[in-house]
């Protein structure tokens, strides 16, 4: 699209900031960079409903095919290997494995392209704890049986800061300048959180916990899914601008939705699901420079002999003997006869890939709606200079209060590299823009780089001269959107059930795009087949 710079910045960053940013006539020096990653045109081949004939000599036979190499598909492959089952293949569309948990290598450290942390699991999540122990991340258990992660893998301080009106402050809730009413409302909000953290149903189940399969389905809790988080806040008398911003940041961060788009159930899930008991802090974060890419790399090291990348699955056809899978391998068409498949691609693609699905749908795949993001990695030759001597210092997570972006994480932070070159990973969810996915793919690298640099320049005026390279990834279908009346509508439960010889495994089945949910569904699907 042809827009003026002011129109572009207005669309992404808002009219007041765009007006201020365009007042300066100073020339802007752009670094090198490019758009990398997903090919939208390749993925959209599925919408053409083309027929593919596989030559007779291009067929092979496997017991199981896994379609999709995100965390759920990799978990299923890992489970097969652990149980000494090797007659399977994992097919991944992209050149790189990992989906939205993928990462890249760089200097001085690796860096994420999506998910960048995992909260320490509760003691009940034994499967995930076993996986972390295999990675040598676990030190032991405490007196209450809770898992203890080795300190070097836990997010180091300072963890979070927020930029507001020219200054950086500690934490994500903006305490600086808060009125007595702001403080009262924040304390009252915490009382609501404590109530739900302690709540148990007649069977002793928590209202909110990961994996979601362990949550209570009591009507008292599920009724929260029928209204937006914004409506719940209004109903409970919360009007504080700072509290509303804090809650809006939460839903944008985990779901790519604004507070008036996400359901109240997922809004409360964000604050309650990782807190063991009222008054306790949320579980600490496991992280490293490459984010959740560390888990992807571990999976891949275990299963790489069974992984094929750059394989576009264009047809999955159930039959009396099992399932036939057809894929594009470069310019070649190949086929695999198998007994079962694990479909770990986004659920909305099922009607386009699985033959017979649209004619006799086992569930409403169209209800699994995704949102779009763009992520940028900025390679800096040095750290941004503090604007004020008493500013709260550069942290792992750095958020701009007055920006629709989520700010950035610092890749070198976890390694304790506090001086010199670094990599900043900037996140922008397309939740405020109408037709966000279409909007995102209308713009090329320079336009998105301009949005990113202009946004960060409000906190770091020297960002242009410090940035030597800026790469962008456009995630057209980044993750599931848990809008009202989706989580507990019954739609997800139908999709969990196998369809003929096809087992589904994806965070879509939870309605929440978290590592723990992908891990759970990957294990579940592989376990059913085994």
Q: Can you spell out the DSSP letters for 60-118?
A: EEEEEEEE--SHHHHHHHHHHHHTT---EEEE-SSSSSSGGG-EE--SSS-EESS---E
Domain boundary assignment for the chain: 5-30+370-480, 42-103+291-368+483-529, 182-281
Is residue 128 predicted with pLDDT exceeding 60? yes
What average pLDDT does the segment 477-495 reach?
94
Residue tagged 């409506």 (tokens) = 231
CATH fold, domain 5-30+370-480, is Polyamine Oxidase; Chain A, domain 2 (3.90.660)
Identify which of 270, 289, 281 has the alpha carbon closest to the alpha carbon of residue 153.
289
What average pLDDT does the segment 16-44 reach?
77
What average pLDDT does the segment 12-35 reach?
83
pLDDT at residue 72, as a whole number? 98
pLDDT at residue 37, as a whole number? 79
What average pLDDT does the segment 14-36 reach?
82
Query: With contact defined as beta carbons under 8 Å apart, do 186 and 243 qualify?
Result: yes
What average pLDDT does the segment 191-200 reach?
98
What average pLDDT does the segment 249-258 reach?
96
Q: How many residues does the chain have?
A: 530
pLDDT at residue 43, as a whole number? 61
Query: With contact defined as beta carbons under 8 Å apart, do 448 and 376 qualify?
Result: yes
Give the confidence band of 372 by pLDDT, cuts at 50, 70, 90.
Answer: very high
CA 305 centroid distance within chain: 27
pLDDT at residue 441, as a whole number? 87
Give the confidence band of 17 by pLDDT, cuts at 50, 70, 90.
Answer: confident
pLDDT at residue 439, as a whole number? 78
- What is the per-residue pLDDT across 177-193, written as a single tens digit (0 to 9) for each? 999 999 999 999 999 99
Identify which of 100, 43, 500 has the alpha carbon closest to the alpha carbon of residue 317.
500
Between 3.10.450.50, 1.10.405.10, 3.30.70.20, 3.60.20.10, what CATH number should domain 182-281 receive? 1.10.405.10
> CATH second-level architecture of 42-103+291-368+483-529?
3-Layer(bba) Sandwich (3.50)
Is residue 387 predicted with pLDDT exceeding 90? no
Which range among 33-42, 197-206, 441-450 has the greatest average pLDDT? Answer: 197-206
Task: Name the burial class of residue 485, with classes exposed (0-12), middle (13-18) and buried (19+) by CB atoms within 10 angstroms of its CB.
Answer: middle
Sign of the dihedral defined by the CA atoms of residues 232, 238, 240, 243, in that order: negative
pLDDT at residue 52, as a whole number? 82
- What is the per-residue pLDDT across 78-104, written as a single tens digit (0 to 9) for each? 999 999 999 999 999 999 999 999 999
CA 63 centroid distance within chain: 31
Residue tagged 């700072």 (tokens) = 242
Distant-in-sequence, close-in-space partners of 420: CB < 8 Å, separation ≥ 6: 108, 382, 383
Identify which of 4, 294, 269 has the alpha carbon closest to the alpha carbon of residue 136.
294
- What is the per-residue pLDDT across 314-365, written as a single tens digit (0 to 9) for each? 999 999 999 999 999 988 999 999 999 999 999 999 999 999 999 999 999 9
Is residue 48 predicted with pLDDT exceeding 70? no
User: What is the chain's alpha carbon radius of gyration, rounded to the nearest angstrom?
Assistant: 23
The pair of three-digit structure tokens given for residue 466, joined into one six-digit string: 């410090």
Share of the chain above pLDDT 70, in %: 96
Cis peptide before 108 (omega within 30 of 0): yes
Distant-in-sequence, close-in-space partners of 242: CB < 8 Å, separation ≥ 6: 173, 174, 178, 182, 186
């Amino acid at each position: 699209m042809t827009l003026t710079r002011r129109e572009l910045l207005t669309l992404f960053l808002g009219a007041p900031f765009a007006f201020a940013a365009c007042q300066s006539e100073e020339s802007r020096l752009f670094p090198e960079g490019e758009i990398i990653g997903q090919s939208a045109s390749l993925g959209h081949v599925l919408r053409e409903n083309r027929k593919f004939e596989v030559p007779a000599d291009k067929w092979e036979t496997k017991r199981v095919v896994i379609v999709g190499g995100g965390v759920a598909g990799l978990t299923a492959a890992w489970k097969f290997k652990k149980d000494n089952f090797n007659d399977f293949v994992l097919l991944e569309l992209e050149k790189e494995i990992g989906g939205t948990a993928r990462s890249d290598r760089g200097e001085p450290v690796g860096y994420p392209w999506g998910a960048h942390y995992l909260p320490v699991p509760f003691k009940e999540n034994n499967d995930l704890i076993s996986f972390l122990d295999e990675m040598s991340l676990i030190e032991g258990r405490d007196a209450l049986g809770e898992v203890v992660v080795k300190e070097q893998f836990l997010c180091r301080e300072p963890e979070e800061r927020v930029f507001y009106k020219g200054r950086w402050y500690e934490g994500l809730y903006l305490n600086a300048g808060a009125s007595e009413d702001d403080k009262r409302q924040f304390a009252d909000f915490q009382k609501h959180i404590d109530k739900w953290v302690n709540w148990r149903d007649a069977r002793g189940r928590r209202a909110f916990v990961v994996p979601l399969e362990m949550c209570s389905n009591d009507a008292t809790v599920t009724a929260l899914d029928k209204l937006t988080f914004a409506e719940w806040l209004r109903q409970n008398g919360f009007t504080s601008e700072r509290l509303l911003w804090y809650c809006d940041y939460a839903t944008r961060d985990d779901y790519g939705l604004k507070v008036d788009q996400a359901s109240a159930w997922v809004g409360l899930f964000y604050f309650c699901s990782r807190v063991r008991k009222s008054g306790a802090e949320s579980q600490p974060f496991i992280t490293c420079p490459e984010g959740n890419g560390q888990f992807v790399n571990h999976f891949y090291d275990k299963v790489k002999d069974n992984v094929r990348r750059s394989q576009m699955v264009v047809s999955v056809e159930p039959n009396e003997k099992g399932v036939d899978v057809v894929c594009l391998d470069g310019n070649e068409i190949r086929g695999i006869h198998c007994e079962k498949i694990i479909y770990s691609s986004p659920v909305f693609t099922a009607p386009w890939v699985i033959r017979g699905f649209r004619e006799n749908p086992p569930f409403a795949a169209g209800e699994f709606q995704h949102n779009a993001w763009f992520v940028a990695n900025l390679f800096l030759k040095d750290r941004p200079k503090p604007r004020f001597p008493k500013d709260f210092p550069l942290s792992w997570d750095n958020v701009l209060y007055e920006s629709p972006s989520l700010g950035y994480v610092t890749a070198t932070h976890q390694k304790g590299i506090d001086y010199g070159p670094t990599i900043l990973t900037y996140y922008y969810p397309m939740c405020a823009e109408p037709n966000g996915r279409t909007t995102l793919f209308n713009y090329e690298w320079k336009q998105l780089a301009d949005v990113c640099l202009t946004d960060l320049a409000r906190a770091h005026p020297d960002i242009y001269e410090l940035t030597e390279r800026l790469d962008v990834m456009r995630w057209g279908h980044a993750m599931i959107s848990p809008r009202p009346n989706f989580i507990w509508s019954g739609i997800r439960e139908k999709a969990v059930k196998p369809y003929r010889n096809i087992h589904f495994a994806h965070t879509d089945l939870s309605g929440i795009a978290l590592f723990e949910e992908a891990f759970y569904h990957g294990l579940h699907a592989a376990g059913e087949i085994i």
